[in-house]
């Protein structure tokens, strides 16, 4: 089963961010996916393949 997410979704990642948060907001979708930490506003960019491997669950759409 594929996890469904869209722009503005809050997702939980498998690994914790150094600030202590697991929650990220999806900021950009395309070939690459840009996410923003919900705690410290740090931005990270993943390829779609790496993002699918790193995501644990979608908290809100």
Q: Where are the domains of the chain?
A: 10-60
Looking at residue 23, its pLDDT comes to 96
Per run of 10 residues, the mean pLDDT along the chain (length 61 residues) is: 87 93 95 95 95 92 79
Helix (H) or strand (E) holding 47: strand 43-47
Cβ atoms of 24 and 15 within 8 Å: the answer is no
Looking at residue 4, its pLDDT comes to 86
3-state secondary structure at position 41? coil
Looking at residue 1, its pLDDT comes to 67
- 10 CB burial (10 A radius; 0-12, 13-18, 19+): middle
Cβ atoms of 30 and 24 within 8 Å: the answer is no
Looking at residue 30, its pLDDT comes to 92
């Amino acid at each position: 089963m594929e996890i469904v997410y869209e722009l503005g979704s809050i997702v939980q990642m498998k690994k914790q961010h150094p600030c202590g948060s697991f929650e990220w907001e999806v900021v950009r979708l395309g070939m690459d996916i840009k996410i923003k930490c919900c705690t410290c506003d740090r931005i990270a960019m993943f390829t779609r393949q790496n993002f699918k491997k790193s995501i644990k669950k979608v908290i809100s759409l």
